[in-house]
Structure 1
């Protein structure tokens, strides 16, 4: 196996407490042909200073991208990717960290698998802010239906459910570049990226725990949480080629309509273009009929198809 260059992009937003552990895990990789890029999006906790002090004390070469004004993760990532020189790119939030053999295992599998694969991901450990093991909903061993016999991820499973944990991922740079830049208005930038690659390439899985994913207490506001739910539905509509999300999407939108709740324009517009839309719901959305008439349309009309 060759040792192609791997670009690791470590990005922080108020992660100063965890940066040293993150960078130590990159330095201690058994795979050594690494280009390191570190970025900070105008943190208020001296993250940039912690990055600089670690790089200096470890005499470790890295490209730095430190913002004085917060621009959002998408802008930060797009700038860092433009600096990437590796055949492969790993993007990791600086509160997560890697198993020493993470990159070596992923590169070996990708080099063996061929160009039809655009990225690879692995199993992981979920940890809290004190590095103690914590529970997470995702257990790959109980979800064998996610995968094909060759170890690749089934394309429709990723459309149905984001089953990929970001710090485990290694992407081919050409797949990353060919699927476009990160969009600033998208909060779920990871899932959107995986789905873009999923449309043009296979995605490989290694059934080994090779990254530590930190699950922190959430401070997400109700407004932001609602927006993330809306984005999740939008993304799953946008990339659905088989109708795997038809029932869930119909239930969400139809329930809101019947309860006279506002349906976001993003969802409303995308649903009317969705190949597996339910015609009666589409009719209601287009003509803005009353919830009561919509109820009657469902109750006394023909079976929904």
Structure 2
């Protein structure tokens, strides 16, 4: 690739952490290979307990695709550490994760990078878009609470204002890790970490808050990726839900240090919403489980301490 081509089209790293899902993974990888943006590297971190994915990539894809780097982990890292390892190995100036059960539409990277390439837009820290929901068979699902549209048209907004809405409503408007594209240098904390705390469920929201504190966000109203809902996900497990409440509690309490919730009424709204989620935990998540109850009590105490300190 000629040097002027590299300057015009900075390298984008697509990072695919995968674990024991060769069928879904191949669909995700294919969607990455179909991107219309001309300067992409694809890094695959294989955390699988078997060789199915490794055999697939090594025999079918590596011989014909020089832009794929395949990493077979010597031991199981877990999703977050696998994702962190890929980030560290990425050569691109820009990063887009692709979860192994999700999909990109062909023009995703090209349309998102267009925002960064306009006058070398340094004020922009993140580009996201609407995303479609699909089921385990790839059949479209109706839009719902998981993927509300931020705007009916493409727009650029203040990262602080967008982050405030995320915190006030306790909702991930930015999307799952597959959805946004961001500049690598702007992520100054490890993926999934906020103020030194590793998140266990809302790892993406921790990272979006870091990035939103650095600049503006561009939102593309056209769906550019698919988020797959299927039985193998852990979204409904009690433990994961309580992990999410703990993450949310920390997120709301910590966000002011990143420039969010500076107005008293915004801060109060976010605190109230966090308390609502804690209360939902007491009502729905295994009342007979002492460990879960104690974890929720700790969250409640942290929020009450925050309230009394202000």
Scaled to the shorter chain, the TM-score interval is 0.7 to 0.9
Which residue, out of 195, 202, 208, partners 1:188? 202
Structure 1 residues 144 and 50 mapped into 2: Cα distance closer, same or farther (>3 Å)? Answer: same
Which residue, out of 115, 133, 149, partners 2:122? 115
Backbone CA RMSD of aligned residues: 3.2
The alpha carbon displacement at 1:256 in A equals 8.1
Matched, 1:171 2:182: yes
Structure 1 residues 232 and 255 mapped into 2: Cα distance closer, same or farther (>3 Å)? Answer: closer
Which residue does 2:3 correspond to in 1?
Answer: none
Structure 1 residues 253 and 11 mapped into 2: Cα distance closer, same or farther (>3 Å)? Answer: closer
Which residue does 2:59 correspond to in 1?
Answer: 53
The alpha carbon displacement at 1:257 in A equals 9.2
Moved runs in structure 1, 4+ residues, more than 6 A?
Answer: 254-260
Tell me the distance in 2 between the aligned counterparts of 1:229 and 1:180. Answer: 21
Structure 1 residues 169 and 202 mapped into 2: Cα distance closer, same or farther (>3 Å)? Answer: same
Tell me the distance in 1 between the aligned counterparts of 2:18 and 2:280. Answer: 39
1:33-73 CA-to-partner distances (Å, cap 9, x unmatched) read 01111112234472233232332353343222222322222
Which residue, out of 126, 135, 158, partners 1:128? 135
Which residue does 1:161 correspond to in 2?
Answer: 171
Tell me the distance in 2 between the aligned counterparts of 1:199 and 1:148. Answer: 21
With the length of structure 1 as denominator, give the TM-score of the two structures.
Answer: 0.78
Tell me the distance in 2 between the aligned counterparts of 1:100 and 1:254. Answer: 42
Question: In the comparison of the two structures, how many residue pairs are matched?
Answer: 275
**Between 247-256 and 116-125, the greater mean CA deviation after superposition:** 247-256
Tell me the distance in 2 between the aligned counterparts of 1:103 and 1:73. Answer: 23
Tell me the distance in 2 between the aligned counterparts of 1:162 and 1:13. Answer: 24
5+ long unaligned stretches in structure 1: 283-304
Which residue does 1:66 correspond to in 2?
Answer: 72
Tell me the distance in 1 between the aligned counterparts of 2:124 and 2:244. Answer: 28
Which residue does 1:198 correspond to in 2?
Answer: 212
1:119-149 CA-to-partner distances (Å, cap 9, x unmatched) read 11111221111110113324544x549x996
Structure 1 residues 43 and 239 mapped into 2: Cα distance closer, same or farther (>3 Å)? Answer: farther
Structure with bigger gyration radius: 1
Structure 1 residues 133 and 83 mapped into 2: Cα distance closer, same or farther (>3 Å)? Answer: same
The alpha carbon displacement at 1:88 in A equals 0.6
Which residue, out of 214, 219, 228, partners 2:228? 214
Which residue does 1:75 correspond to in 2?
Answer: 81
Tell me the distance in 2 between the aligned counterparts of 1:257 and 1:96. Answer: 32
1:74-105 CA-to-partner distances (Å, cap 9, x unmatched) read 21122111111111111111111111111000
Structure 1 residues 148 and 195 mapped into 2: Cα distance closer, same or farther (>3 Å)? Answer: farther
Secondary structure of 2:118 counterpart:
helix
